[in-house]
Amino acid sequence: MSQLKEFVQVFQRELIDDKIDENTDYKNHSSWSSLVSLIIITEVEKSFGVLIEVEHLRNNTTLSDLYEQCMPLTK
């Protein structure tokens, strides 16, 4: 499984939606909230050892964009 797919799976689990993919606009998802964003930051750090900065969450729209910005050194 690719690392991007694993990254997307974190969002699928926390937003409870298996239809989420790398093109999903995560900030407009009906389950998105500030609490969910904190949980996702924690889960990504545990799973990948990478800290997503709040600015990254604010400045990106799709999961693919977020992945490219916060995980460039782990590919």
pLDDT per position as a tens digit, 24-75: 999 999 999 999 999 999 999 999 999 999 999 999 999 999 999 988 655 4
CATH class given for the domain over 3-70: mainly alpha
Question: How far is Cα 70 from Cα 16, in angstroms, rounded to an integer?
Answer: 22
Beta strands in the chain (DSSP E): none
Question: Which pTM value belongs to this model?
Answer: 0.90
pLDDT at 1: 76
- Cα separation of 17 and 49, whole Å? 24
